[in-house]
Structure 1
Amino acid sequence: MLKKLFYPLLIITFILSALSHFMHWGAEVEFAFAGLAILFAAGLLGKATESVAHYAGQRIGGFLNATFGNAAELIIAIFLIKEGLFEIVKASLTGAIIGNLLLVLGASALAGGLKYKEQKFNDHLAGQNASLMMLGIIALFVPAIFVKTEHISDENTMTISIIVAAILIFAYIGWLVYSMVTHKDMLEDHVDTQASHGEKPAWTKGMSILLLVVATVMVAFISEWLVHTLDTFSSRFGLSDLFVGAFVVAIVGNAAEHSAAILLAMKNKMGAAVEIAVGSSLQIALFVAPVLVFVSLLFGKEMDLIFTTIELAAIGVSVLIATSISRDGATTWFEGKLLLIVYVILGVSFYFV
């Protein structure tokens, strides 16, 4: 019954979100409809990703989901930069990283672990992901420490941000070449970690890719409508920009990863779930955040890559526990629970800032 209603509800919520935005039904109504609509659009994105994974494999399927899912995050951030809301942009990037490492990976490990005693994935890939996450932390920590302790000028701070951003993009491109070309076979799931359920893909390869694009476009429009409600929404409910950016925007913006990763983990496809959760965080830290520095220059509004101490601490502890849990190439429900506990602790702390 629910499956039959999915597509009508997807269309209805999208239309209602559009009407509430263009007819100005009020910030609360606009936010509610936009949040609901983006969840259905994310559901379509997740289903299309799973279908693509049948043809291209779990790693490529997970990578595509992370990429298309982060398209929403990137689009939201671009609109925020256009409005000059740099603090919310950085908070949303922080929220996206910790949300994927703690909420998405934690919920996936918990949901899959309740059904399967232990879920395995490529341990070499897990080790490489851990090293890349450490690189992301170093790239964010070092400039922030130097700028804040040595009182570097705004002009030089922006220069440092541009150089570090360029280096991170170069590193990410290198990772794509390494993982998708030169060492592709080494990072594929081993035979004993692959899930084989004899399932048939929902659509053809061409239709799956088309629906990925359609869902992403829908998310892009809904994201823009959502951004316009944030100022009113946060002020009316007494929420800080930090909390709204790190949790509200991040959770809604990453709804695609949430739904797809949990669905795949429950089908014992933990390799794809990890690729979505960890791969998405890596993409945010090594590609999306640096790209936004250059995007801000196009708008004539300079956004540096210097995050606050609170944001750096949140990212640091998230990387620490996610690396500790995933590095052995296996997860259980208890490890998923630990990740979710850390996420709740950070959420409560951010709320009272």
Structure 2
Amino acid sequence: MDFRKIGVLNALLVFVPVAIGLKFAGAPGMWVFIVSGIAIVPLAGLMGKSTEILADKLGAGWGGLLNATFGNAAELIIALFALHRGMIEVVKSSITGSILGNVLLVLGASFLAGGLKFSRQKFNSTAAGMSATLLALAAIGLVVPAMFHVHLELFHTKANEQSLSLEIAVVLFAVYVLMLIFSLVTHKHLYAGEHDNGPGDADGFATVEPHWSSKTALSVLVGATVFVALMSEFLVGSIEEARLAMGLTETFVGLIVVAIVGNAAEHSTAVLVALKNRMELSYHIAVGSALQIALFVAPVLVFAGYLPGFPRMNLVFSMLEVMAIVVSVMVVGLVAFDGESNWLEGLLLLAVYLILAIAFFNLPEPEAHENARAVIEQPAGMLCWILPDFDGDWLSHV
């Protein structure tokens, strides 16, 4: 197997031994964080390519299931390590960040890159609309727990929010399984044209000549997964020191940095196929990945909280994260409506992502809200005038 022909991203594999060396040499956490993050990118790409080859060998049914399972393996592995260390805010932010990154950053970059080369690109509006609708329904499962939490705070009541999150996670996971049955069994003809790319078409890893054998692909998948786990351990272990050194919050690190690192290989694939005027494939890579995050990764992380050594995680996101998810879902619906894209739409999607990133960058840590009570209690009279049914006591619980 000649790795020189696989693609330019493999040059980044040199960062794997560099990250290991830095870690065991006791280098500053910021450098371990940066280098291990870069190292995950080509490893995730190798996982994706080996999964594609195994999927072709196994046939549509099992191959599609394998693709779906390993489609977001890097993000899931990083999130599991972060959850095990108790970094629940980072984990939640990475879920939101992956959804935003796919439907705003990836789709926007694809529209922009493809639109600069082709004046107008088309994709199947019916299939795209179906994916957008599924994403909207999946987003409800992430929005409802936050609304439930706000309701409890406003009306001064208590309920088992962890149980609610678990039950919603079961529903989301069940929908994910049913979605696989729909796309791989009952209506697989609708998706027959989505993976018709030949060698060298899809990404920087897809120029292998000759094709890998099943044994080689399986070996690469196992090896890449092991090293992704190792790099994820380095990445997560250095987050605290790195974010303090760079002046970043846990929310921003999870939502922007970790999400981009985990999705980088898929990001490059979507942009490169858009440059080949295959916008339908690019669209389904972006939206399909967001669907997997909402329906598969998020529920699995909730389930993982019931394993020994893992803290419980719920699906209660901050109001800013909820707003960002709603905005991203609306955007998908808007761009899927006409089945066409151009560079200006891509630029606008990137602008929305940048605006949200700026908002999260300026969002203070939760601990910084300790003085919020004093700030809120000051205009208590005005709030009680707006909400006459309240006597103001609920403000002490904000």
TM superposition score normalised by structure 1? 0.87
Listed one character per residue, the Cα deviations across residues 26-64 of structure 1 (whole Å, up to 9, x for unaligned) are 112212221221233244446556767888999999986
1:289-318 deviation digits (Å, cap 9, x = unpaired): 111111011135211111110111111111
* Corresponding residue of 2:143: 141
TM-fit CA distance, 1:128: 1.4
* Residues 1:305 and 2:307 are matched in the alignment: no
Structure 1 pair 7/91, CA: closer, same or farther in 2 (3 Å)?
Answer: closer
The reply on whether 1:331 has 2:325 as its aligned counterpart is: no
Q: Could you say which residue in structure 2 is the equivalent of 1:108?
A: 110
Greater Cα offset, 291-300 or 148-157: 148-157
Match of 1:246 in 2: 255
Indicate which of 66, 74, 77 corresponds to 1:75.
77
SS at structure 2 position matched to 1:297: coil
Whether the 8 Å contact between 1:68 and 1:212 is mirrored in structure 2 is: no
Q: What's 1:277 paired with?
A: 286
1:165 counterpart SS class: helix
Residue among 161, 166, 169 paired with 1:165: 169
Q: 2:37 aligns with which of 35, 38, 56?
A: 35
Query: Aligned to 1:231, what secondary structure does the other structure show?
Result: helix
Q: CA deviation at 1:123?
A: 2.7
Distance 2:48 2:119 in 1: 25
**What is the aligned partner in structure 1 of residue 325 from structure 2?**
315
Cα distance change of structure 1 residues 285 and 218 upon mapping to structure 2, 3 Å threshold? same
The one-letter amino acid of 1:165's match is: A
Match of 2:374 in 1: none
1:273 Cα shift?
1.9
**In the TM superposition, what are the counterparts of 1:170-181 in structure 2 within 5 Å?**
170-181=174-185
8 Å Cα contact 2:48-2:70 kept in structure 1:
no
**Higher Rg of the two aligned structures:** 2
Offset at residue 240 of structure 1 (A): 1.0
Describe the shift of the 1:335–1:58 C-alpha distance in structure 2 as closer, same or farther (beyond 3 A): farther
Mean CA deviation greater in 212-221 or 314-323: 212-221
Structure 2 length-normalised TM: 0.78
Q: 1:283 to 1:75 in 2, by over 3 A?
A: same
Moved more, 65-74 or 46-55: 46-55
Q: Look up the SS of the partner of 1:259 in the other structure.
A: helix
Moved more, 42-51 or 319-328: 42-51
| Structure 2: gaps (5+ residues) | 364-398
For 1:113 and 1:289, the matched residues in 2 are separated by 33
**Distance change in 2, residues 1:256/1:234 (3 Å):** same
Question: Higher mean Cα deviation, 162-171 or 295-304?
Answer: 295-304
Q: Structure 1 residues 63, 279: CA separation in 2 closer, same or farther (over 3 Å shift)?
A: farther
Structure 2 contact 78–236 (Cα < 8 Å) conserved? yes
1:157-306 → structure 2 map (5 Å cutoff)? 157-189=161-193, 202=208, 203-204=211-212, 206=214, 207-208=216-217, 210-298=219-307, 299=309, 301-306=311-316
Does structure 1 retain, via aligned residues, the 8 Å contact 2:122–2:341?
yes
CA distance in 2, matches of 1:64, 1:106: 27
Give the AA of the match of 1:183. Answer: H
User: 1:118 Cα shift?
Assistant: 2.7
Letter in 2 for 1:111: A
| TM-aligned CA deviation for residue 251 of structure 1 | 0.9
CA distance, structure 2, for counterparts of residue 229 and residue 46 of structure 1: 26
Aligned equivalents of 2:145 and 2:10: distance in 1? 49
Equivalent-residue separation in structure 1 for 2:97 and 2:200 (angstroms): 37
8 Å contact kept, 2:18–2:35: yes
Residues 138-147 or 177-186, more deviating: 138-147
- Structure 1, residues 219-248: CA drift from partner, whole Å, max 9, x if none? 232122111110011112221111111001
**In structure 1, distance between residues paired with 2:344 and 2:79:** 34
Higher RCO by CA contacts (8 Å cutoff, separation 6 or greater): 1
Structure 1 counterpart SS, 2:119: coil
Of residues 54-63 and 10-19 in structure 1, the stretch that sits farther from structure 2 once superposed is 54-63
Q: What is the aligned length?
A: 350
Give percent identity, aligned residues only.
45
Q: What 5-or-longer segments of structure 1 have no aligned partner?
A: none
Q: Secondary structure at the match of 1:253?
A: helix
2:388 is matched with: none
Please tell me the residue identity of whatever aligns with 2:90. Answer: I
Of residues 147-156 and 126-135 in structure 1, the stretch that sits farther from structure 2 once superposed is 147-156
Q: CA deviation at 1:11?
A: 4.3
Report the CA distance shift for 1:42/1:118 in structure 2 as closer, same or farther (over 3 A): farther
CA deviations 1:305-340 (Å, max 9, x no partner) are 111101111111111112211243332222211111
1:111-161, Cα deviation, whole Å (9 max, x unpaired) = 122222333333332121111111122112222212221248776111111
| Structure with greater helix share of residues | 1
Q: CA deviation at 1:66?
A: 6.6
- The Cα of 1:188 is off from its aligned counterpart by 3.1
